[in-house]
Amino acid sequence: MFTSARETMMALQLLGKDPESEHGNSPTVYLGPARGTLVIQSWKARAEQVAQLTIPGHEDAIELPLRMPRFFPEMDGTGDDSDAR
């Protein structure tokens, strides 16, 4: 996939961190503003989970707690994430 210079220069916008994280670093949800995507830092999916999936080489699988989608902008129907943090 081609990445433009503009995409690499635009900073990720923090949408929210898991308030129940033991170490305060993960899971974390970011907005990738250049492409209108979410970038999610989370735990790697376990081998037995990955074995049930067909994952192309350019993709990966993660586990995300069910409490984390509240940080996704569309989850509240407004597209505004200002109250999610």
List the chain domain ranges: 5-76
String of b and e for 25-59 (b: at least 16 CB within 10 Å)? eebbbbbeeeeeebebebeebeeeeeeeeeeeeee
Whether pLDDT at 9 is above 80: no
- pLDDT tens digit sequence for 16-62: 999 888 877 789 999 988 888 899 999 999 999 999 999 999 999 99
Which pTM does this prediction carry?
0.68
